[in-house]
Structure formats: C-alpha cells, structure tokens
Structure 1
Amino acid sequence: MRIHLTARTRHFTVLGNEVVRDKRLSFTARGVLAYLLSLPDGAREDVRTLADNNPGTGRRGIAKAVDELIALGYYVRRTVRCELTGRVRTETHVYDVPQTDPPPTRPAPPPPPPPGTGDPRDGRPGESPEGVKNRGKEPSLPAGSRWLVRLTAAEPRLALGAADAAALAPLVEPWLARGVPEPEARGLLTAGLPPVVHSARALLANRLTRKLPAQRTPAPAPLRECARCRDPLPRRARQPLCVACDGTAPAHPEPASAQEAVTAHVARLRALLRGGATTASPVLMT
C-alpha cells in the first residue's frame, strides 16, 4: 500500500498518529473525534446534529462513540457558572490528547456547623458582614454593562467577564442615550460574527463604536382637529373648535344680485387702471 499526502496551506487539521491509531477507540469514535477537531472553536454540535449531518451511523451509534471519547478523556463536559448573571451552563471541550485530570465540577456546599455553634446564615469563615449582606446578589455593574451582557448572553463567542463588561460601559452610554431598541442593538452587535472570536471585548468595542445608529429626530406632534368639523387647527390654537364652527370667522357680505357684483367689480378694475387703487381684487370668474 502506497500512501500519498498533499501539502496543504489552509483548511487542514493536524492529528497525532497516537490519536487516529488509538485501539481503545472504535473506527466510529475516531471518525467522530477527527470531525469534531476539524470544526472551528465555538461550533455547536451534539449527538443529534452529528447524526443528522453525517448519515449512515445513526444517533445510537454516534452516542456510543461519544461515550467512548468521554471515557478516555477526549470529550469533556464541564459545568460553569457565569460570574455576571449567576446562571449555570454546560460547556463541551474536545481535545486531541486524552485528559487524565477529572473535569472540574461545581463546588460542594459547605458542611453545616456543629450543633450549638449558632445560625449558619450568620456568616462563613473569613466572610465580612458586607459579604453576608450581599450574599446571593449579582455583582454591582453599571447599567450599560448589564445591558451589554443581556444582549450578548445568547452568543457564547461573545461571553464577557466582569472586568471586560465594566470597561465597555462608556461605549454603551451613547446607545442608551439615543434609545436604540434592544432587538435592533442585538442584531447590530451579534450578527455576522466570524467563525472564531479571539477577543470578545475588542470585537464589541469595535462594533459599539462603528455601528452606533445616527441620532433620531423625534416625529412632529400631530395637528389638532376641530371637535366638530375635524378640520386641522393651528398649532397655537387654544379652543377645541375652529373659527368657522365657533362663530368668530369674519362675515363677508354677499352682493344683492349678480348684476351688482359685476358692476362693483368693473368699478374696482377701472379705479385700478386709473391708479386710484393700491391693491387688486381677485378676478371674477363666471
């Protein structure tokens, strides 16, 4: 058997021979491990998606292969608690070298004090009274930091620590001042992320500065309407009725007849032509 290898400069995965030849793993488990190690950091894969994207083995076979990887330390699940929100989530880690150390677990609760030593809620060894008062509360962060953490909580690639969130708080203030809705802000900050985010703090600082929406001008207030005829009212009007409905409109005397109107109009035109009038009256249309 002759082996032919191609020199690659991109899109390749390096695996040690001791991994692909590990006889403790089945061929299926080795294939699953190689596939997982070829994915970018932050990819979301589980037994269901592995079986759906790689037909031929089925979920039961994939689950059995994952169990083999877990038993040898290639596939490790860890439970972590977010220091900002206090929520507990499970993270999956895939290694190209078996991990012999057991994965860290959630610390066990402290044992109860011996009888007669007082109420265990009074305090813990080395804990100050202020710590007892604030026990169970989330760390105090600026409003901008809490807003940012809330928007990016659903994206693991943008997970922030307390120090990073506090450092980004000044960049969040313009967003809050301009009243950007949270759905719009979430789309601007989390959409189109690269496959690998090396620094969530640097990426968010760039997007908070570059994608800040323009200042929105408030919409003008709608015009008031007459309570009777629904005609628009002037903006400075104080009465609920227009001048036509409340009877304050000036009355224009109507001519007694059409002949008198024509005669009066002709007289005004003659006066205008002779220079006796300073303003022109509207032309009478018949």
Structure 2
Amino acid sequence: MEPLAAQWFARGVDADYLTHALTSGLPAQVDSPIGFVRRRLNDKIPPGLPTTRTPATPGTPVRRLMVECTECGTPGPSGALPDGLCRPCRTPALGQAPTAPADPPVARDIHALVGTLRDLMKTP
C-alpha cells in the first residue's frame, strides 16, 4: 500500500488530507482493514496535477472575473471594487456629509416570534 500512498503524495496531497480522505465516512464495521484502505486509496485518489501549462490557442477569449458593487450593482473587475464597493459608493459625494453607520438591529423576542409563527401555521 505504500506505493499507492506515494501516488497521493506525488499529486500534491499532504498527510493530513490523506488521513482525512481515508477515515471520513467510515462504515460501522470493516471486515478487512487492509482491503478497505487499499480500495479507498484506489477509488479516492485525487486527479493528477498538470505538468506543463498548455498555451492558449490564438483567438481563445481570456476569462476575467467580474464582480458587482454591493450597493449599486455596477459591474467591474475585482481589483476596482475593494470591499465590494465601487468608487462612487466608497466616497461620499461632494457637499454631503458621510453617512453615519446604521443603528444596530433591534433585539427581538425570538421565542415569542416563533410561537406566533407556529400559531399562524395551525390556523387554516
């Protein structure tokens, strides 16, 4: 089984990952521990890492990650939206004072709210 484990390590797996892969989801009873481990080493082996990067063929579009501003929804590259906000949403407009942070949410009686919801579900 050592050669099988060596294949895992050759694919960039560390000992903790290998241990987790072999021990997660254990059945209630294992009749043959050696057979069980051998089967898991063969069945759960991770895919091999590419040895060389394949060059992109000319004309293939380059994929870039686009994100949206969390306030106004303006799309843009991830580098242009630090903290998820575009420049107009990050900086206040000229002549306006910066907005104060919102008040913390009001504490609710969760037990009373859940009780009310249960009562509403019982009524036809």
Higher relative contact order (CA 8 A, sep 6+): 2
Taking structure 2 as the reference length, what is the TM-score of the superposition? 0.38
Taking structure 1 as the reference length, what is the TM-score of the superposition? 0.17
Larger radius of gyration: 1
